[in-house]
Copies of this chain bind each other. A is one copy, B any other.
Amino acid sequence: MNGKDTGDFRERVRQSFARQGAMGMLGAELTRVEQAIVEIELPFDIKLTQQHGFLHAGVISAVLDAACGYAAYTVIEPDASILTIEFKVNLMSPGRGERFLFRGEITKPGSTIIVADGRAYAIGDGPAKLIASMTGTMMVIRGREDVTG
């Protein structure tokens, strides 16, 4: 964060997302930023698979965590930051599809601890299919230069 910050959470989320090497490497795109809700999309890529050719559980987790973390990001003050303390992922169906949608949403806001829930969907022919869910616990960090933004 810098002095030009005007409290625009959408812009802060976009800037932070753009700095995540891992999201860029995966080909993930930030497609929706609302207060308490963030969506990220990811096209299928053979590079992102596990040994059966489905989207890797770790990739699913990485993007769900990002969606949940940025959802938390939208509800904190501009100069604070978010660290994921822990999360749990349930993998429900194979990650098979042309695109994937990851949605993070705040379940419980808080001044120190924020709980977010995420859902991942495979999108292709036919209806979107729920492939995974996450519950994550995030901590709001203030006054630590090394983890702002």
Interface residues of A, Cβ cutoff 8 Å to B? 16-17, 19-22, 24-25, 46-52, 56-59, 61-63, 65-66, 81, 83-94, 107-108, 110, 112-113, 115, 117, 130, 133, 135, 137, 139, 146-147, 149
Q: Which residues of B contact A149 (CB under 8 A)?
A: 51-52
CA distance A20 to B83 in the complex (A): 29
CA distance A40 to B95 in the complex (A): 23
CA distance A139 to B20 in the complex (A): 28
Give 10 closest A-B pairs by Cβ, nearest first.
Answer: A58-B62, A22-B56, A88-B88, A19-B51, A86-B90, A92-B108, A61-B61, A21-B49, A16-B51, A21-B47
Can you list 13 residue pairs at the A/B interface with Cβ under 8 Å?
A21-B56, A24-B47, A52-B147, A57-B65, A57-B87, A58-B61, A61-B62, A85-B137, A86-B88, A86-B137, A88-B88, A90-B108, A112-B139
- Once A16-B51, A22-B47, A51-B19 are accepted as A-B contacts, the answer to whether A90 and B135 lie under 8 Å apart by CB is yes
**Other A-B pairs beyond A58-B63, A87-B89, 11, CB < 8 Å:** A22-B58, A25-B25, A52-B81, A57-B84, A58-B59, A59-B62, A61-B65, A83-B91, A85-B113, A86-B91, A87-B88
